[in-house]
Structure 1
Amino acid sequence: MAKEIELIFIPVPSMGHLLVNIEFAKRLIDLDNRIKTITIVLFNLPTSPHASVFARSLIVSQPRIRIHDLPSLHDHPSTDLYRRAPEAYVVQVVKLYTPLVKEAVSEIVESRRCDSDSSVRVAGLVLDFFCNSLIGDVGKKLNLDSYIFLTCNARYLSMMKYLPDRNRKIGSEFDLRYGDEELPIPGFVYSVPAKFMPPGLYNREAYEAYVDLAPKFGDAKGILVNSFAELESHPFEYFSKQEDYPPVYPVGPILSLKDRANPNEEAADKDRIMEWLDDQPESSVLFLCFGSKGSVKEPQVKEIARALELVGCRFLWAFRTDSLVETDPNDALPDGFMDRVAGKGLVCGWAPQVEVLDHKAIRGFVSHCGWNSTLESLWFGVPLATWPMYAEQQLNAFTLVKELELAVDLRMDYVSSRGGLVTCDEIVRAVRSLMDDIGEGLRRKVKEMGDAARKAVMDGGSSSLATARFIDELVDNGSC
């Protein structure tokens, strides 16, 4: 009888992390019939109240993926901590949930052992990198191999490998006064100015969370990275030579190309956007969108609006203000703006990003540089201008502009929580570079990388082969 296995995924329940984890689970099942079932163990958090409903909407077409909802904690960390230092909040949540996770995983393992009619065994855990404390607290205690699934890129992994050495020497969070300090991070082609590091590293509580997480990567059986060898050859080559580090598998790009409906939006809104794009000339529209968590303050909205008027290009602009209540984005626009750009622009609070990027009318993308959005823009061959907002997006922007030369530098070091404005002049310069004919060289390069991304996940491609090696290791190493 062929060996059959079950995997247990434990993701962070934010929309971006959940989406990629479930898409990866689908890919594994599609690639190899020996993976009988994948169970997603899901935290129940007040910061992600719709996570379970969202996750279930993503697995309707795949009955071999199951959701196991954990009960709510009696005592969550404060939401003030989440706003102040989200990395610290998540690390605390995972530690508080550890007994419940261990109990749930143990029950799944035991049910497989007791099922005399089934040859399926639980082969291991696939953990979000924020959950890597579970390697020792759950995986090792239950004799299960633990793999880390990194929803970021390989250079982010390089940064995490660098942090423990830096902490041993300095022992404190980063300081903005030394933002121009050049950091020699192995796996990068160039030294990285400290100002491009994640903003959490400048916050004591979040920094301590990073320092807690970073060394535990070395305890994993392997590390799966949502990137591909052709995009990040330098860091993947670096990790291939590290004898004292787990094997690193480039398994990306992992994308949800069947667009995800926003539960707060009506189908009519999506239809309105796509019909408007259908009426625009090919390769003529600038798309501006700042991700599921990105919001823009009203003074910044006015700077963007002024820039779009000055450039005069067609645009689709999706944004939310930082208001605590849901508002119409048009209310934040300068008086008369929509009249002055009539026929050239459409403003909305949400857009179906995948379908927009795939539309023939789109020419350029002003993006917050979240890694999911970055991979989508490359996949569809749409060059972007970098406008990072939070998390690791500054590092992504540096990677795209400096390391890979695949993006226009709008503002690589912007962090929304630090205040300040990206000026109209900065926006005009970047948008013109992106939309004018001078950007054709960049456009060709992005298109070539998009072609490489598609080849990577095809049969015989670099990521497909790396994923197959990972599955073979799971099947061959009977850990239960």
Structure 2
Amino acid sequence: MGGERKRSSKPLVLVASPFQGHMTPMLQLGSVLHSNGFSITFAHTKLNSPDPSNHPEFLFLPLSDNFSAIDASANYTKFLEALNNNCKTQLQDHLSRKIKDEMNHTITVIHDNIMYFAEEVASNLNLPSIVLRSCSASYMPAFLSLSYLHAKGQLPVRDSMMEELVPDLHPLRYKDLPFHSTPTEVATEMLALAERIRTPSAIIWNTMDFLENSALTQLQEHYKIPIFSIGPLNQMARCPSTSFLEEDTGCISWLDKQAPRSVIYVSLGSLATMDETELAETAWGLAKSQQPFLWVVRPGSVSGSEWIEFLPEGFMEEVRGTGVVLKWAPQKQVLAHSAVGGFWSHCGWNSTLESITEGVPMICQPVMGDQCVNSRYLSYVWGVGLELEILERKVVESAIRRLLVDVEGEEMRRRANSMKEKAKCCMCKGGSSFNSLQELVELITLSD
């Protein structure tokens, strides 16, 4: 992808956030833009910093953020605000020096949407700034409607309304809305943070036109600035693993011994946690399905756990030879493996794209943020996902068998393979993502 025309090394400064789901597409975007002739400075927090040895083509700029961990509790908005405040002066000082060094080129700043301080710094220095959105495009109309729904008294959502469709947000139900149970004051703080980004030159979305055309059209009308749908970045970028956690690659040799499309891969992302009951229901559902499985259980997945000591008694003996439990998997490799027939996921956008682009249908267990919206689209619109309504062993067993054994799963796999082929076409010369990337390159180049 890209690299057809040799360009001068125009400088880009990419400002990443410390969340795995945000860091991954920013690193991938950096690789794609570098292959199109740009020089990349990658500014990142010291919290969850990427490994520079994986990206020798980038210059890395660590920003002291004064945090040792992500605070995903009720203090989340305060955490984001402090993160932005702590990094701002360092970026401004660096860019001020870089401007003097780059006499022949205008520096363009591309920043993650939650690192809004970068836009303010760019504006102070008269530099163009572009936002990278790491969520689905379909999530944004729902997010943008939250203020209106709060004002109408429809949020937080009452139990009696959960299953109702939200007017003007088809196909979303109230329970699919982001922050649908969040207290009004917290949701208001989140919306206020989102509004801190005021005057970007453009927005980049890690998606594909065929997948989210309706949402992209709405967003173009709403923002009235160029929107570039450049995805799937996981396929376009030539870069190694972006994982913060150490990947257990030994599972690939186990997959090599399994029958084609027979394995359910289970991973609920890098942040989600569960209690002991939920862990037990997941475990016995996997065992009773009698299907081979590869299950990621992170240390700390259950609060206070070292690793798998809270798994129910007798489980490991029952599944010996059928399943593998590991701390973290090389997800792109796993999903690309011929043995994997389904992906039980939290439906983060990176995981969703990785599954779609490998033609793997999904079991959807959303947890937070845009995941409920993604789950609804996967199951109801795109027809490549099964929604896990409750985490109960018989429901889990049924969902796995529907996906891997039944005719329903065959049909979902056929649709998923069709989407995989369409995604490939997007990246080919003349495809929507190929064209969008060329237009982005032109926009940045013309800013000189």
Number of the residue aligned with 2:142: 159
Q: Residue 378 of structure 1: CA displacement? A: 0.8
Instruction: Name the TM-score, length of structure 2 as normaliser.
Output: 0.89
Q: Partner letter of residue 189 of structure 2?
A: A
Which ranges in structure 2 are unaligned for 5 or more consecutive residues? Answer: 1-5
Change (3 A) 1:270 1:384: same
Q: Partner letter of residue 121 of structure 1?
A: T
Contact 1:12–1:130 under 8 Å retained in 2: yes
Question: Aligned partners of 1:339 and 1:261: how far apart in 2?
Answer: 34
Length, aligned pairs only:
438
RMSD: 2.8
Question: Aligned partners of 1:176 and 1:230: how far apart in 2?
Answer: 35
**SS at 1:388 equivalent:** coil
Question: Aligned partners of 1:400 and 1:432: how far apart in 2?
Answer: 18
Out of 415, 425, 428, the position equivalent to 1:455 is 425
Question: Aligned partners of 1:472 and 1:263: how far apart in 2?
Answer: 33
Q: Residue 158 of structure 1: CA displacement? A: 2.1
Q: Which moved more, 1:104-113 or 1:363-372?
A: 104-113
Given the alignment of the two structures, is residue 42 of structure 1 paired with residue 20 of structure 2, yes or no? no
Number of the residue aligned with 1:252: 231
Residue pairs, 1:201-212, within 5 angstroms: 202-204=182-184, 206-212=186-192
Q: Give per-residue Cα distances to partners, 1:102-145, cap 9 Å, x unaligned.
A: 222222222213xxxxx3431x211111123542x222221111
Q: Give per-residue Cα distances to partners, 1:336-363, cap 9 Å, x unaligned.
A: 2222223211112222111111111111
Question: Aligned partners of 1:170 and 1:97: how far apart in 2?
Answer: 37
Q: Residue 181 of structure 1: CA displacement? A: 5.1
Change (3 A) 1:462 1:217: farther
Q: Residue 157 of structure 1: CA displacement? A: 2.4
Which ranges in structure 1 are unaligned for 5 or more consecutive residues? Answer: 114-118, 412-420
Q: Partner letter of residue 434 of structure 1?
A: L
Contact 2:245–2:328 under 8 Å retained in 1: no
Number of the residue aligned with 1:116: none
Change (3 A) 1:215 1:83: closer
Residue pairs, 1:20-419, within 5 angstroms: 20-30=25-35, 32-33=36-37, 35=38, 37-44=39-46, 48=47, 51-52=48-49, 54-60=50-56, 63=57, 65-73=58-66, 82-113=72-103, 119-122=104-107, 124-135=108-119, 137-166=120-149, 169-170=151-152, 174-177=156-159, 178-180=161-163, 182-185=165-168, 190-199=170-179, 202-204=182-184, 206-216=186-196, 219-240=199-220, 242=221, 245-255=224-234, 260=241, 265=246, 269-271=248-250, 273-320=251-298, 321-323=300-302, 327-329=306-308, 331-411=309-389
Q: Residue 264 of structure 1: CA displacement? A: 5.7
Change (3 A) 1:380 1:23: same
Q: Residue 218 of structure 1: CA displacement? A: 5.5
Instruction: Name the TM-score, length of structure 1 as normaliser.
Output: 0.83
Identical aligned residues as a percent? 25
Q: Give per-residue Cα distances to partners, 1:306-349, cap 9 Å, x unaligned.
A: 212322111111113544556232x3222222222232111122
Q: Give per-residue Cα distances to partners, 1:228-280, cap 9 Å, x unaligned.
A: 1011121123334x1752221111111167662867647xx422x11211111
Contact 2:14–2:110 under 8 Å retained in 1: yes
Contact 2:130–2:204 under 8 Å retained in 1: yes
Question: Aligned partners of 2:118 and 2:322: how far apart in 1?
Answer: 51
Change (3 A) 1:383 1:133: same
Change (3 A) 1:381 1:461: same
Question: Aligned partners of 1:182 and 1:380: how far apart in 2?
Answer: 31
**SS at 1:405 equivalent:** coil
